[in-house]
């Protein structure tokens, strides 16, 4: 099954790539590598999960936020790659978590993204990862996610 078919079986269609909120591009292709800028858990231009994880946002909702940010990052990577089926492997994910003082479950939050990528790409979705607690994120988003993927040669 292709990544596109897996997404369809999950009832997910990749959204339009969120517009940058600053002076950058959503994704950049460099040879057979695509790097994404940080993507937020947004839908239709609106952050869907805002606040501090561990105080304002419970763990379960933060996991959903990481999943949504991964969908947006995948959309950006797919656009730069020429389609989601052009992505050969997920190499790295970096998940920033807008953490309340004392919150230490950033890896559990990041699993929302990692599990989604594994479901879409199978073994090729297994990746290296960082899960980082931060004091603030743009637009008070609960999470922000960056991806690095390998794509087919042009």
Q: What is the pLDDT of residues 10-21, one digit of tens each?
A: 999 999 998 888
- Does 154 score more than 80 pLDDT? no
Q: For the chain, which domains are there? A: 3-151 (3.30.1330.40)
Closest CA to 146 of 50, 58, 26: 26
Q: Could you tell me which residues come within 8 angstroms of residue 147 by beta carbon, excluding any fewer than 6 positions away?
A: 34, 35, 36, 39, 70, 73, 74, 76, 77, 90, 92, 93
Q: What is the pLDDT of residues 71-111, one digit of tens each?
A: 999 999 999 999 999 999 999 999 999 999 999 999 999 99
The least confident of 3-12, 17-26, 46-55 is 17-26
Q: Could you tell me which residues come within 8 angstroms of residue 1 by beta carbon, excluding any fewer than 6 positions away?
A: 9
């Amino acid at each position: 099954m292709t990544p596109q078919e897996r997404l369809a079986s999950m009832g997910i269609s990749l959204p339009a790539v969120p517009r940058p909120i600053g002076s950058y591009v959503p994704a950049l292709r460099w040879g057979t590598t695509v790097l994404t800028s940080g993507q937020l858990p947004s839908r239709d231009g609106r952050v869907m999960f805002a606040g501090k994880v561990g105080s304002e946002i419970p763990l379960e909702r933060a996991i959903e936020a990481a999943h949504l940010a991964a969908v947006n990052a995948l959309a950006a990577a797919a656009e730069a790659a020429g389609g989601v089926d052009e992505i050969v492997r997920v190499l790295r994910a970096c998940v920033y978590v807008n953490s309340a003082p004392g919150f230490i479950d950033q890896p559990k939050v990041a699993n929302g993204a990692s599990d989604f990528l594994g479901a879409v790409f199978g073994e090729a979705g297994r990746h290296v990862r960082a899960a980082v607690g931060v004091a603030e994120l743009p637009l008070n988003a609960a999470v922000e996610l960056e991806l690095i993927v390998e794509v087919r040669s042009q």
